[in-house]
A = this chain, B = another copy of it.
Amino acid sequence: MSKYAKRIPAMEGEVKKLKVLTDALISPTIVSFAGGAPAKEAYPFDQIREICNDVFQPNATGFGAMAYGSQIGNLALREAVRDYLLKPRGLDVSVDNIMITAGGIQPLNFMCSLYLDPGDTILVETPTFVHADMIFKMFQANFVPCKMDEYGLVMEDVEEKIKKYNPKFIYTIPTFQNPTGVTLSRERRKKLAELANQYDVMVLEDDPYREIRYSGEELIPIKAFDQKDNVIFSGSFSKIFSPGSRLGFLVASDDQIAKFCNIKLGSDTCTNTMAQAIAAEFFKRGYYPQHLENLKNLYRSRRDAMIKALDAYFPAGTKHTYPDGGYYVWAELPEGLDATALAQEIGEKLNICYGNGSIFYSEGNPEGAGNNCMRLNFSGQTEESIEKNFKLLGEFFTAKLNEK
């Protein structure tokens, strides 16, 4: 049979890592803390039905819900992005610099399409989002991992690696990072934009969790500090509306947007106009603020339940982050406990799964990095489930530690 392109074997390793997560996501019986999906009870079904009744009318003008759409996307939805998701968060841009995409993953693919040739280097966080790594490998990139601490990427390390490796871009999830939940500080956001401008290196600011903040102070995007079009900002409707709608967006310069529109034509022509029309109306009818408040209340309680259960049940010496928003807590088990090695036994005995920490460590990290870590998703489980299952998990780990 005909030989596959070079990108296919290049992405194989990352695909295998990612499958650990996606397979857990679709298993119907296991209690999963591995996923990254919204709670089922978080979808605004009633409003969607109401909107569909108005949008899918032969005489309804301006929706275009059944027809081809433009590459840049539905104007009303771009206005909603500007007015609800960007301007109040400190990023004041024209609708001409906002493009609607097929979910929050497509901007990552488009960023690679615009900037990456095979063999190019990019800087990534440590740990980083394994799904993103897989896309970068599809474009045959090399990774250079950068250090993080409790305030996010360490700028001295980033600057040193820009100088040493001349990367095409720096990939960061600055707010409630996936997988750690850590948020890049204001000072570092400013510094990262300055470094990008100074060294003319691009930054992909992937910010899908920004809206769902439960505590702490809101921070303006890196893009707001960008003076020379070196930062591409991307967001998503997956966590605040519906992942099934496959809607996201990116913010870029006129020329970058024009190129992204060409890439869009070459990828899938235009974004689903049905979902765009429905989402645009959802914002236009004023449903978003209350919906977001509901989401935050729902997830805040779950975060708090998870932190409480971690502190109560996990073995002494376990460290964990305290995320101000998003979906994940990152836990580091005490020396001698290998969360990756124990995952299968835990699945079989306790019927529980989590994100193995090791899969979030890109190439360039030492063998075994992250083996004692776990990405713990709290959006998908009730407080009761978190309490019950973390007690089981904690007891299991404690018993394992005592065996040694």
| Chain A contacts to B: CB under 8 angstroms | 1-8, 11, 15, 18, 22, 25-26, 37-38, 40-41, 43, 45, 48-49, 52-53, 56-58, 64-70, 102-103, 105-106, 109, 112-118, 120, 131, 134-135, 138, 168-169, 200-202, 228-230, 238, 242-246, 255, 259, 262-263, 265-275, 278
Contact = CB atoms under 8 A, between A and B. Distances in A.
A138 B43 CA distance: 37
Nearest to A58: B45
8 contacts: A1-B230, A5-B113, A5-B115, A15-B262, A49-B53, A52-B53, A118-B118, A243-B269
Given A53-B52, A268-B102, A274-B245, A1 B109 contact: no
Contact of A131 (B18, B53, B265): B265
A259 B244 CA distance: 22
A53 B53 CA distance: 8
A56 B49 contact: yes
B265 A246 contact: no
B48 A267 contact: no
Nearest to A253: B1
A245 B37 CA distance: 23
Contacts of A3: 115
Contacts of A65: 244
A63 to B, nearest CB: 9
Given A41-B58, A244-B274, A267-B267, 10 more contacts: A2-B201, A4-B114, A5-B114, A45-B56, A49-B53, A49-B57, A66-B243, A68-B243, A102-B102, A106-B268
Contacts of A200: 1-2
B67 A116 contact: no
A169 B106 CA distance: 26
Contact of A134 (B15, B103, B265): B265
Q: Across the A-B interface, give the 8 residue pairs with the lowest CB-CB distance, nearest first.
A: A244-B273, A52-B52, A66-B242, A102-B268, A43-B66, A138-B266, A246-B272, A272-B272
A117 B102 CA distance: 25
Contact of A268 (B15, B41, B113, B246): B246
A18 B257 CA distance: 17
**Which of A64, A102, A201, A228 is the most central at the interface, judged by chain B CB atoms within 10 Å of its CB?**
A102
Contacts of A243: 66-68, 269, 273
A64 B25 CA distance: 14
Contacts of A268: 102-103, 105-106, 109, 246, 267-268
Contacts of A15: 262, 265
A326 B270 CA distance: 22
Nearest to A101: B268
A201 B262 CA distance: 29
A113 B9 CA distance: 12
A269 B246 contact: yes
